[in-house]
């Protein structure tokens, strides 16, 4: 148990040596695949994800009979593939895996409300995520990688979506004073502690995505959300820097 032992309360250092509000190392590259409309490779600590964007392209669904009544906006389709070597056990996930489907649905709804889909009626934007290595904060990493890939594809959005995970240390009510909010959880912390994934667009615009699947004390929730939004704002700054650096290289002609 990484945090129950007294070492955390003594030194306030997590198992990987970080403090409570430290993010893991974030690094990314844009336009990694020339064949795709947009692509990005994103690393958050040891969690590594590649995202490719295809579209907007012609939609293959529905006949045109009552299309004026139906929603004409573009749709966002998401597919998540786990490489066999991504987790500690080599396991090929079945294609209809419900957990993967839920992950894809969350990402799809997040971007449906963020992208300016009314600009591309009757089209489909397809996001494909390949998870190369899982080490905690999977949903957050996927959202960040998707944001970068969509920016690379040039699809307009209201604001870039930045996501992060937060956890709380003490799991029982007695330890209220000891409770610390940890930012950017890794694999071992995800297993032991209640955590949530939160995504915002920064600048006080509110919460875009919030996923909490473990039990947590009511009183902790507000603190976690506040730290989460602050963390998302910092991640947004990092993503911003990555995009600007890429833009400079494009302008200098170093990237095709």
Q: List residues near another protein by CB under 8 A.
A: 32-36, 39, 46, 50, 52, 54, 79, 81, 83-88, 90, 128, 130, 132-135
Do residues 155 and 250 touch, judged by C-beta distance below 8 A? no
Three-state SS at 172:
coil
CA distance 59 to 210: 29
Nearest to 38 by CA among 145, 142, 160: 145
Neighbours of 134 (CB within 10 A): 19
Residues 6+ apart with CB under 8 A from 7: 13
Smallest gap from Cβ 120 to another protein, in A, equals: 19
Neighbours of 15 (CB within 10 A): 16
**Residue 21 or 130: which CB sits closer to another protein?**
130
Shortest distance, CB of residue 226 to another protein, whole angstroms?
32
Give min distance, CB of 49 to another protein, in A. Answer: 12
Q: Least CB distance from residue 104 to another protein, whole Å?
A: 11
To the nearest whole angstrom, how small is the minimum distance from the Cβ of residue 82 to another protein? 11
Residue with tokens 């949530």: 196
Alpha-carbon 18 to chain mean position: 21
Nearer to another protein, 208 or 246 (CB): 246
Nearer to another protein, 10 or 34 (CB): 34
Tell me whether residue 90 or residue 254 sits nearer to another protein (CB atom): 90
CB of 185 to another protein, least distance (A): 16
- Tell me how far apart the alpha carbons of residues 250 and 236 are, in angstroms, rounded to a whole number: 21
Residue number, 54 or 211, with CB nearest to another protein: 54
**160 contacts: CB under 8 Å, gap ≥ 6:** 147, 151, 201, 202, 236, 239, 240, 243
Q: CB-wise, 111 or 200, nearer to another protein?
A: 111
Within 8 A by CB and 6+ apart from 153, the residues are: 36, 37, 38, 53, 55
Closer by beta carbon to another protein, 32 or else 59: 32
Closest CA to 181 of 193, 169, 171: 169
Find the shortest distance in angstroms from Cβ 249 to another protein. 17
């Amino acid at each position: 148990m990484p945090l129950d032992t007294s070492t955390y309360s003594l030194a306030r250092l997590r198992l990987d040596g970080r403090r409570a509000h430290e993010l893991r190392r974030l690094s990314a590259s844009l336009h990694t695949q020339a064949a795709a409309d947009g692509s990005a490779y994103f690393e958050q600590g040891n969690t590594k994800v590649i995202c490719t964007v295809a579209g907007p392209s012609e939609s293959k669904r529905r006949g045109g009979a009552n299309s004026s009544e139906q929603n004409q906006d573009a749709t966002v389709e998401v597919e998540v593939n786990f490489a066999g070597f991504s987790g500690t056990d080599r396991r090929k996930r079945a294609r209809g895996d419900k957990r993967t489907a839920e992950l894809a649905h969350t990402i799809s709804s997040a971007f449906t409300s963020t992208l300016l889909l009314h600009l591309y009626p009757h089209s489909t934007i397809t996001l494909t995520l390949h998870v190369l290595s899982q080490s905690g904060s999977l949903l957050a990493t996927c959202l960040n990688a998707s944001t970068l890939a969509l920016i690379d594809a040039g699809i307009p959005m209201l604001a870039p979506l930045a996501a992060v995970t937060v956890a709380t240390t003490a799991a029982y009510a007695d330890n209220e004073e000891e409770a610390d909010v940890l930012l950017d959880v890794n694999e071992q912390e995800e297993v032991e502690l209640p955590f949530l994934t939160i995504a915002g667009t920064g600048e006080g615009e509110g919460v875009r995505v919030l996923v909490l699947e473990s039990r947590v004390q009511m009183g902790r929730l507000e603190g976690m959300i506040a730290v989460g939004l602050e963390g998302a704002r910092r991640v947004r700054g990092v993503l911003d820097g990555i995009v600007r650096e890429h833009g400079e290289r494009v302008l200098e002609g170093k990237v095709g």
